Amino acid sequence: MKRVCYRRFHGFAVAGGTCSTAEGIHIFIATMLRQLLLLTLSVAVFASVSPFPGPGAKCPSTNQTIIWNYNASSDAGPSHWGDLCPEWIACKTGQRQTPIDIPLSFIITHPTANLNLKTSYTTLQEQMFFNDGHTVQVNINQTSFITVTEAASKYQFLQFHFHSPSEHTIDSNHYPLEVHLVHKSADGSFAVLGYLVKQDTYTEGFLQTLSKKIHEIPQYGNSTLISSLNLTDLFNQHDNYVHYNGSFTTPPCTESVKWFVHTRVLSATREDLNTLITAMANTNRPTQGLYNRTLVQYGLYTPEAVDIKTSGRPTATTSEAVAIRVAAVMIVFLASLML
Ligand SMILES: [Zn+2]
């Protein structure tokens, strides 16, 4: 019996010509096995050379890559991170975890204001911007650092990345976006600067640069180069920030991270926020217990300095909100005519 035969074409099984059933099946299965082998090899090679951590993280004791996510109803979601790997137990039992809610009434103002944190950033050139499977990140390969004078420690600037909505909350209010600038000292401890981002009429320069490039990295493993990035304006001597001791907000939730959450909220337009958020929606770990930690405010802080009006997702503009209300009224009016 003759029938349509699958033949190889550049390694793929394509239908064409005629051959016996046995011959056709043999060629088809052989081609499929070859493709499967090639696919497996490609994945293995990519995994071994990829510089990105990806949606999984290595569990040291089992030497397995554990996939974790932000889905509250998943077995790999935040409430289960501490069960997925013995070394991730801090995610479950730690009492110095991040993020936290920052209740304005709990903050203690430090008498020496903002003397304990200094940044020494240079204008960055040719930095890698990539999608790590959870969020988008910029790795810093030039010398920039911060100094925490109280601890007499210098922390090298390693990378910055985003979360949406914000991980920290102010009086339980989320912001559309949060930036984390991660620094590491010679003794292996970390300091992270956190910035909340609100919807506004303009976009900070570095966020504008990234929003123009983010379409190039829609999926895990995608990367692109940012030719020039200026973060030197991000921090200034008049900034206020809340300091506390916390952790990584992703597995293994390692503690002993010095956090500095700035109360000067950054700005981005609704369009730029939406562009950035598309690549990292729902990448916020829920807030953790404060336990007996103190929140110390540095700078000339007043509660009014914190803009907590904008929360959650970018909102419609005033004209759009009016249009939506008019449309709703029209629908109700038309429905009443039909009844
Ligand atoms: Zn982060």
Domains and CATH numbers, the chain: 57-93 (no CATH), 94-298 (3.10.200.10)
What SS3 state is found at 120? Answer: strand
pLDDT band at residue 115 under the 50/70/90 scheme: low
Sequence-distant (≥ 6) Cβ neighbours of residue 2 within 8 angstroms? 18, 19, 20
> How many residues does the structure list for the chain?
339
Q: How far apart are CA 215 and CA 140, in angstroms?
A: 20
The per-residue pLDDT for range 192-235, each reduced to its tens digit, is 999 999 999 999 999 999 999 999 999 898 999 999 998 887 77
pLDDT band at residue 236 under the 50/70/90 scheme: low
Give me ligand 1 centre to Cα 259, in Å. Answer: 11
pLDDT band at residue 338 under the 50/70/90 scheme: low
Instruction: Give the count of beta carbons closer than 10 Å to the beta carbon of residue 160.
Output: 24
Give me ligand 1 centre to Cα 126, in Å. Answer: 22
- What is the mean pLDDT of the segment spanning 161-172? 95
Give me ligand 1 centre to Cα 246, in Å. Answer: 12
Return the closest-CA partner of residue 159 out of 178, 176, 141, 177.
141
Query: Ion ligand 1 — residues with CB under 5 Å?
Result: 180, 249
Give me ligand 1 centre to Cα 41, in Å. Answer: 32
Q: How far apart are CA 186 and CA 248, in angstroms?
A: 18
Element (H, E) at 267: strand 266-268
Give me ligand 1 centre to Cα 147, in Å. Answer: 20
Mean pLDDT of the chain: 78
Give me ligand 1 centre to Cα 9, in Å. Answer: 46
- 161 burial via Cβ count (<10 Å: 0-12, 13-18, 19+): buried
- What is the mean pLDDT of the segment spanning 169-189? 94
Give me ligand 1 centre to Cα 3, in Å. Answer: 58
Residue 282: left (phi > 0), alpha (psi -120 to 50), or beta?
left
Sequence-distant (≥ 6) Cβ neighbours of residue 145 within 8 angstroms? 119, 120, 154, 155, 156, 157, 183
Give me ligand 1 centre to Cα 326, in Å. Answer: 40
Task: Report the share of the chain in percent with pLDDT over 70.
Answer: 68
Give me ligand 1 centre to Cα 46, in Å. Answer: 25
Give me ligand 1 centre to Cα 107, in Å. Answer: 22
Give me ligand 1 centre to Cα 332, in Å. Answer: 45
Sequence-distant (≥ 6) Cβ neighbours of residue 7 within 8 angstroms? 13, 14, 16, 17, 27
Sequence-distant (≥ 6) Cβ neighbours of residue 235 within 8 angstroms? 119, 121, 193, 262
Residue 160 in this model has a pLDDT that exceeds 90: yes
Give me ligand 1 centre to Cα 302, in Å. Answer: 26
The whole-angstrom distance between residue 64's C-alpha and the CA centroid of its chain comes to 23
Return the closest-CA partner of residue 276 out of 183, 209, 182.
209
Q: Please confirm whether the linkage preceding 86 is cis (ω < 30° from 0).
A: no
The per-residue pLDDT for range 69-105, each reduced to its tens digit, is 999 999 999 999 999 999 999 999 999 999 999 988 8
Give me ligand 1 centre to Cα 136, in Å. Answer: 10
Give me ligand 1 centre to Cα 249, in Å. Answer: 6
Least confident range of 44-48, 242-246, 300-304: 44-48
